[in-house]
Structure 1
């Protein structure tokens, strides 16, 4: 026999069924075994009707536990080629049909194709005998025509490449008689009687020939010893033994027991049993008791590995005669394999705005068991928003069944449970993690709609005054916020110029120094915008309150500050507690900083008192002859700020009914108090000045006669317009702790308080002399009180007058 020639030509047959989006048929290929690695089976892409240009995007690949070891798909041209050597006998043994199947999965869009590749046998195995030499003993009395069973040869190939027949080497006594019963058992037939004395032994060559082209052969040596008579061969009770056992049968369990009978006696009737096979998987799985023919399991059986066993048992007597019987063992499947879940395709992360019904993964579920034990059902465990949709055969799609929200759940652990229909059923679970990617679907959110910020005035420009933060529950760039300030005023000095904001941290800085007296509060709008596409934003209102600081000292409105001293007449007859004058002051600050307190210097505290809150100056006792007539009173006005600010005003108070009466007394008291003083000089100068002014007023009086009617009403009352107009903005600041505004005094003064002029006043004899100033909380007195300066006995005809020096 010749061996298999190199470079043997092979042919691939191809059957194709059109598939579109689901498996509606199978693609069939047929190849011969033992092909070289890298041999092309066929162009799978072309046979599937796929465009070669789309192969890379569609990611076609093989899904199989076994086939992917032997076949690969070229992703560039779609060729299906052999990845490893294929031995049909290793894969399928002696089975009539041998095929490998797998699923070809293509993505974008998802398609599943079933491919079946039939493995054709080649004549790569010669027939083989179990032993290289067999020994037979024949009695010389054996009659011609006697038959002797020989051990058969085994050829792993099938069909025409399998065992075809036997040949016996040329001799004068023996020929072959072929017997076929599934497996060919050669029989040696004696044609001529034996003569032990002529020839005691024979050596014959038995050749087994297969049907391949060229044919292959195997040989064994038959040694025949001629002995005395042993004319009965063992006989099995059955030619074929069939049995079914469970794959879960324990080790060393009895499968069956074969039995053979031999009519001979003694040694020729003693039978020994053995396996007549060279297959390792049989010899490794079973043992046979040589004495009684009991066959037991040697290892655990597995239906998924081998579904049935077929072998020959030999019975041999002591005389060397043998007989054979066939044993068929079928393995019954049990539900001993849990379903296997594998991920074929997975898309992760998934955008959170994915529409319901979107495929996120493809899984394959297989069970090695058969029948109901291999039928699998799948379901999603838990309340994840995903569901399974059967795709094809054992494939399932995992699709979204509702809308997703990354801010609520950023990742899902999808638990897939597969169960078969065995009894009891077996379960398996697989967890698939699907992450969600963020989209910009959430706007920034501030904690408050409005923020109130209190900033002390006179702050340094550039100092941080507040920090504001917004939150965005998106992630990455979608949550990266930028802050800006938007003014809500249209004036020349918009609020956005007062403050600035760090666009990253949200820290707000003052752009200028604030002045409470100019601007007590202003409103700005802060906008937070994320970096998503398109961006989203939110805004909040920032109300900045300027907090007053004690930066303005009190301002004394009355008495007004002038170049010369201020004199006021205090009636000699004033009673204790009489109101003499009132100091009026204001403070541009507010609150505690504008609460004013009035104090007298300690040197005058024994003669006059001042109300700490209203500034009213009153007499502390009734005047006596020994009292000093002239008093210089200094009033200090302090606010309630920290540190406190103050202002002072000085009043010259003269006690008497008229200056004429007062001057001599003042002069005498001054001589007594200080003989060396220059008071007399001042009095002389004062009298000279008074005389000059008197002459001047006489001239003015003559002129005023002609305009008496015109100016009568004008001199009736001098109202508060003599004082500077107070800004109405100050009014709201002074609500407690000082005099209410506007506060006016009606005083007898010249027409212009800034000039040292005199005005003649018409006396009113019916008005008694009471006080120099009659003031209350509603105003600063009136002109009638000034008329009290005129003496009771002085009349216009006498030319006497009272002088008020302002």
Structure 2
């Protein structure tokens, strides 16, 4: 026994496919906890440091509780008492399987531990005293089966031989069979009941251990008077097949024995032999009258594949005679066990940039059935980037087979299906979760391709203007966004002097906007994530400035020169409706804020003159009379259409003169024509000559987009809300058609206008006189560019490119 305990056999089998290694150790049973099993580290070629860094451990399984892997020395030792008889029963070979796991990189190693039997059990007879009745008529050589001894040990340590004492009348014959050896009592000499009725015998069973162990049973043989015909079975051995999971009560076989005697001596009853194990008695029932053997318990191929039953047939004679037969019940495997899948993973997540072939976990499958019923195949859904590759028998690795993208799928529910080869096949499924970790591989995305908003000019500083938002499909810090301005220059100033953006994406005003200086701001906002390295994206933001009525109308004609009011001669011969002059004003604002209207605020004689609210034309109401005051002062108020409206006034002195006095006024005007033209006047004249040469008509209108598509400057002529805008296009002089468009407010009840042609261009002297007069009182070059456009339109009106409108 001590020699067996010292026996240790080590077998190492290296499988070069992948990282899989199979180790085999042989140890005797009943070793104390802590006993040495094998040096795993040495057999795998690992030193202590690598054992520690690679986290050597035993995977959970049926044999895990009996062994322990010591770290860092890598030694496999016994953890609990190992009783071979308890673990493996009567099996000749007792193998325990372990699976060792190593990380960094992931690898698994299968370990087989064979438990060697120790002769620690005595042979035992279930019946200590056996009564055997033998008819005195029994012939020498007759054989009588005896109960076999049971020894929980196996191999050489199991029952090997039997001895009978005393010998003489009887001898012992031992037959070997699948379940072991069976003793038989052999009659050596004829019996004579009158000489001796009973024979006490002792049967000894010996095992093959060193030293050998033994067990004894007593046999009392009683000699019975003649019943000279024993029962006879129609077969000495019955071989039947029985499907596992056969229901209780299913017929196994029907035994039949006959006895040629008559009466009670010929009536046969059936029973299990005295040495039939309890396991058989619990599994099968035997009808003592009919000889039918039926299923009594649960038949399972995985428990036993063959049952050997000994049956005795006995007549009712006195003494009774009996016969024995042997029934071999072969259990046929039925595919009644589903495959079992076990999954082990050493990592919780896989990075989304993991290359194909990365191990996600280890699989182990088992099927308790045999043959094709126990052959298992694994399957995965076709729409996931994983595949299963075999490691060694019933062990597999789950690896990636394609690229991963966490933003599309952050967690895979891997459903593994195991199917055996039975008919019909059985299958089982297990779901395993494989998490994908994030990498910063996605730039931010804005919720809109571009952002636009409106802001009224003269806004307060720090006004929230618009909020932009972007999202990043990455995770954690990789999706945390910050916003910033992309610097560039607008009107000579950096964009950061106009607006600024906060961390939440809200854009605030950095100054008070002035529509007359800036009509829109177009810039870019950059969103950047917090990944490493960070990724960013830009979006365009357009802020359109809305005009406020913050500019009063500006009188451009007539103008005062050095404080002297404009004077206009009027002939006494003028009749009612005579056009005396025209007041023209412009407004630097836009839209409704730039629409101006005229009204006579004050006059020397209110009944003599009237002002057109829309054109600013001053006309006589009636014919002039000699008694009218020779000097008439008119104050014309110009109002824009803003809310509230802003206004300006123009004061005119109208001198009523006779025809002969008008010449003097013309001379004065002629002298003014001799003044030198300024540089700006020359530029405007050159522009007008170019326009004339191209025969193009300047266009005038209220909406900024109908006048200048790329800038806001515009001129609203004499509108009080009825006339919205008018556009006129002049074709070449040889054209017989002219193009025009007029638009009115919904409240207008007139929709006609007069277009007067041909177009008469004014003389340069007239333009020079009127424009120089305006320049002498207005710092035009320092005005906003809208006002300078108004000058151009003002000159165009003098060129009669725009016809008077009648309502």
TM-score, reference length from structure 1 = 0.75
**What CA distance in whole angstroms lies between the structure 2 residues aligned with 1:250 and 1:482?**
73
Q: Which string of whole-angstrom CA distances, capped at 9 and with x for unpartnered residues, describes residues 669-712 of structure 1?
A: xxxxxxxxxxxxxxxxxxxxxxxxxxxxxxxxxxxxxxxxxx99
Q: Which string of whole-angstrom CA distances, capped at 9 and with x for unpartnered residues, describes residues 588-644 of structure 1?
A: 222322222111026654211123334332222112244344433211011121211
Task: Give the C-alpha shift of residue 40 in structure 1.
Answer: 3.5
User: Is residue 179 of structure 1 aligned with residue 174 of structure 2?
Assistant: yes
CA contact (8 A) 1:274 1:290 kept: no
Match of 2:115 among 119, 123, 129: 119
**What CA distance in whole angstroms lies between the structure 2 residues aligned with 1:462 and 1:348?**
49
**What CA distance in whole angstroms lies between the structure 1 residues aligned with 2:410 and 2:774?**
86
CA contact (8 A) 1:166 1:186 kept: no
What's 1:532 paired with? 531
| Cα gap change, 1:409 to 1:153, in 2 (>3 Å) | closer
Q: Alignment partner of 1:621: what SS?
A: coil
Q: Alignment partner of 1:433: what SS?
A: strand
Q: Alignment partner of 2:42: what SS?
A: helix
Q: Which string of whole-angstrom CA distances, capped at 9 and with x for unpartnered residues, describes residues 536-583 of structure 1?
A: 111122232222110011233433387677665543333333343443
CA contact (8 A) 1:382 1:415 kept: no
Q: Whose radius of gyration is greater, 1 or 2?
A: 1
What's 1:717 paired with? 674
CA contact (8 A) 2:33 2:80 kept: yes
**What CA distance in whole angstroms lies between the structure 2 residues aligned with 1:722 and 1:621?**
43
What's 2:716 paired with? 736
**What CA distance in whole angstroms lies between the structure 2 residues aligned with 1:38 and 1:361?**
31
Task: Give the C-alpha shift of residue 513 in structure 1.
Answer: 0.5
**What CA distance in whole angstroms lies between the structure 2 residues aligned with 1:495 and 1:725?**
37
CA contact (8 A) 1:594 1:733 kept: no
User: Is residue 299 of structure 1 aligned with residue 300 of structure 2?
Assistant: no
Task: Give the C-alpha shift of residue 654 in structure 1.
Answer: 4.1
CA contact (8 A) 1:22 1:112 kept: no
CA contact (8 A) 2:363 2:397 kept: yes
CA contact (8 A) 2:673 2:769 kept: no
Match of 2:251 among 251, 254, 258: 254
Q: Alignment partner of 2:279: what SS?
A: helix
CA contact (8 A) 1:481 1:529 kept: yes
Task: Give the C-alpha shift of residue 372 in structure 1.
Answer: 2.2
CA contact (8 A) 1:140 1:196 kept: no
What's 2:25 paired with? 29
Task: Give the C-alpha shift of residue 200 in structure 1.
Answer: 6.4
Contiguous gaps of at least 5 residues in structure 2: 663-667, 688-707, 720-725, 727-761, 778-794, 801-807
CA contact (8 A) 1:177 1:187 kept: yes
What's 1:642 paired with? 643
Alignment of 1:263-342 (within 5 A): 270=268, 272-277=270-275, 279-315=277-313, 319=319, 325-342=325-342
What's 2:737 paired with? none
What's 1:89 paired with? 85
**What CA distance in whole angstroms lies between the structure 2 residues aligned with 1:265 and 1:96?**
49
Q: Alignment partner of 1:733: what SS?
A: coil
Higher mean alpha-carbon deviation, 485-494 vs 588-597, is at 485-494
Count of residues in Structure 1 that have an aligned counterpart in Structure 2: 703
**What CA distance in whole angstroms lies between the structure 1 residues aligned with 2:37 and 2:324?**
43
| Cα gap change, 1:657 to 1:28, in 2 (>3 Å) | same
Match of 1:40 among 19, 36, 45: 36
**What CA distance in whole angstroms lies between the structure 2 residues aligned with 1:749 and 1:49?**
106
Task: Give the C-alpha shift of residue 483 in structure 1.
Answer: 0.8
| Cα gap change, 1:132 to 1:278, in 2 (>3 Å) | same
Q: Alignment partner of 2:372: what SS?
A: helix
**What CA distance in whole angstroms lies between the structure 2 residues aligned with 1:403 and 1:353?**
7
CA contact (8 A) 2:559 2:774 kept: no
**What CA distance in whole angstroms lies between the structure 2 residues aligned with 1:259 and 1:23?**
61
**What CA distance in whole angstroms lies between the structure 2 residues aligned with 1:205 and 1:421?**
53
Task: Give the C-alpha shift of residue 514 in structure 1.
Answer: 0.7
What's 1:154 paired with? 150
Q: Which string of whole-angstrom CA distances, capped at 9 and with x for unpartnered residues, describes residues 365-419 of structure 1?
A: 3322222222222332332233333332223333333323333333333333333
What's 1:553 paired with? 552
| Cα gap change, 1:779 to 1:99, in 2 (>3 Å) | closer
User: Is residue 211 of structure 1 aligned with residue 168 of structure 2?
Assistant: no
Higher mean alpha-carbon deviation, 183-192 vs 354-363, is at 183-192
**What CA distance in whole angstroms lies between the structure 2 residues aligned with 1:586 and 1:143?**
151
**What CA distance in whole angstroms lies between the structure 2 residues aligned with 1:244 and 1:24?**
41
| Cα gap change, 1:564 to 1:467, in 2 (>3 Å) | same
CA contact (8 A) 2:162 2:183 kept: no
CA contact (8 A) 2:32 2:78 kept: yes
CA contact (8 A) 2:169 2:189 kept: yes
What's 2:739 paired with? none
Contiguous gaps of at least 5 residues in structure 1: 662-710, 755-774, 781-806
What's 2:697 paired with? none
What's 2:789 paired with? none
Task: Give the C-alpha shift of residue 531 in structure 1.
Answer: 1.6
Q: Which string of whole-angstrom CA distances, capped at 9 and with x for unpartnered residues, describes residues 127-156 of structure 1?
A: 222223223446688899987654332223
CA contact (8 A) 2:681 2:771 kept: no
User: Is residue 11 of structure 1 aligned with residue 7 of structure 2?
Assistant: yes
| Cα gap change, 1:330 to 1:66, in 2 (>3 Å) | farther
Q: Which string of whole-angstrom CA distances, capped at 9 and with x for unpartnered residues, describes residues 264-310 of structure 1?
A: 77666655421444644323222223345433221232212222223
CA contact (8 A) 1:173 1:192 kept: no
Match of 2:769 among 746, 758, 765: 746
What's 2:600 paired with? 600
**What CA distance in whole angstroms lies between the structure 2 residues aligned with 1:139 and 1:482?**
109
Higher mean alpha-carbon deviation, 102-111 vs 634-643, is at 102-111
CA contact (8 A) 1:19 1:48 kept: no
**What CA distance in whole angstroms lies between the structure 1 residues aligned with 2:773 and 2:335?**
126
**What CA distance in whole angstroms lies between the structure 2 residues aligned with 1:520 and 1:751?**
27
| Cα gap change, 1:80 to 1:238, in 2 (>3 Å) | farther
**What CA distance in whole angstroms lies between the structure 2 residues aligned with 1:139 and 1:747?**
163
Higher mean alpha-carbon deviation, 318-327 vs 177-186, is at 318-327
**What CA distance in whole angstroms lies between the structure 2 residues aligned with 1:752 and 1:373?**
110
CA contact (8 A) 1:273 1:291 kept: no
Alignment of 1:49-60 (within 5 A): 49-60=45-56
Higher mean alpha-carbon deviation, 56-65 vs 548-557, is at 56-65
Higher mean alpha-carbon deviation, 368-377 vs 740-749, is at 740-749
CA contact (8 A) 2:139 2:187 kept: no
Q: Alignment partner of 1:419: what SS?
A: strand
| Cα gap change, 1:325 to 1:146, in 2 (>3 Å) | closer
Q: Alignment partner of 1:746: what SS?
A: helix
Alignment of 1:374-523 (within 5 A): 374-447=374-447, 450-489=450-489, 493-503=493-503, 505-523=504-522
**What CA distance in whole angstroms lies between the structure 1 residues aligned with 2:111 and 2:673?**
125
